[in-house]
Structure 1
């Protein structure tokens, strides 16, 4: 659990709310960072038919995910709680399934990154429900992030049909 240690004199939310919201956001920050790493691992090691299109598509998703993680981390800091994106935290706390080492053929790559994207979307949607009563700004931010990831998931899944 993150603890409020803000150097700022003007709180946006009260301390209890800030810590609760920041904790929910931190869980999603960890998952988003890990999803970007999974996508990059897949990007580097995808092989097979249609390699180039999935290789480029993964980079597009990575941009979305990295932008989202930055937005979530900055929201945590805005609430007066330090964001934690350290590799040790991500490794210990991410809900995203590990990606295999080595080369992975295109169909398996698509399936694995779609599964990882869905895991993060599920986490975001759970957080959206929790944030509804706590902080509309954070809720709205996660709704926007989820919408973008859901679009990427659609495009991934369309390749499995």
Structure 2
């Protein structure tokens, strides 16, 4: 890192940049996953889901920009390439192609579970090191959790039970939701 902030030491800045780089790759991957769903959803609820996804795509793309700019602010060099996504990821590639709205939404719920879990881990880890970064992650999490609520609203019955309850993989959730 050629430039570090005066308010963080080199070690702390490097750690925050590592956390943010993983978040940047996760956001870039989520953006691509959301667009993939947008293009591949079919069935009776097509238009509602198709149109529900676009605002999520726009917001996630903006979040990636915010994270990349924070990395630069801390003296790092944000990597926004496909290779960076592959290198930084600890998750599998999205596994559904053309499929029903219910299948995609159940799979997307699993994606959001993983994304939000790792986002919250970043929130916890940046609390002491850099509360400004933590604040960015918290703000993003609130909207992403709301989007997950939108997704789950399509998958719940009146008692609040999810069609894909107990499933922890995209394909398992999709199969159970169909």
Report whether the alignment pairs 1:102 with 2:101.
no
Q: Which of 121, 129, 132 is equivalent to 2:124?
A: 129
Deviation larger for 114-123 or 91-100: 91-100
Alignment match, 1:41: 36
Report whether the alignment pairs 1:153 with 2:148.
yes
Q: Give the conservation status (yes or no) of the 8 Å contact 1:114–1:153.
A: yes
1:99 partner SS: coil
Q: Give the conservation status (yes or no) of the 8 Å contact 1:40–1:62.
A: yes
| TM-score of the aligned structures, taking structure 1 as reference length | 0.91
Report whether the alignment pairs 1:62 with 2:41.
no
In structure 2, C-alpha distance between the alignment counterparts of 1:113 and 1:141, rounded to whole Å: 23
In structure 2, C-alpha distance between the alignment counterparts of 1:95 and 1:112, rounded to whole Å: 17
Unaligned 5+ runs, structure 1: none
Q: Give the conservation status (yes or no) of the 8 Å contact 1:33–1:90.
A: yes
**Structure 1 residue 101: Cα displacement:** 5.3
Unaligned 5+ runs, structure 2: 157-178
In structure 2, C-alpha distance between the alignment counterparts of 1:80 and 1:30, rounded to whole Å: 18
Report whether the alignment pairs 1:5 with 2:7.
no
Q: Give the conservation status (yes or no) of the 8 Å contact 1:18–1:79.
A: yes
Mapping 1:14-25, distance limit 5 Å: 14-25=9-20
Q: Which has the higher contact order (CA 8 A, sep 6+)?
A: 1
Report whether the alignment pairs 1:143 with 2:156.
no
Q: Deviations over 1:48-99 (max 9, x none)?
A: 1110010011111111111111111100100010011110110232234322
| TM-score of the aligned structures, taking structure 2 as reference length | 0.83
Q: Give the conservation status (yes or no) of the 8 Å contact 2:96–2:104.
A: no
**What is the Cα-based RMSD across aligned positions, in Å?**
1.4
In structure 1, C-alpha distance between the alignment counterparts of 2:125 and 2:51, rounded to whole Å: 35
The aligned length equals 156
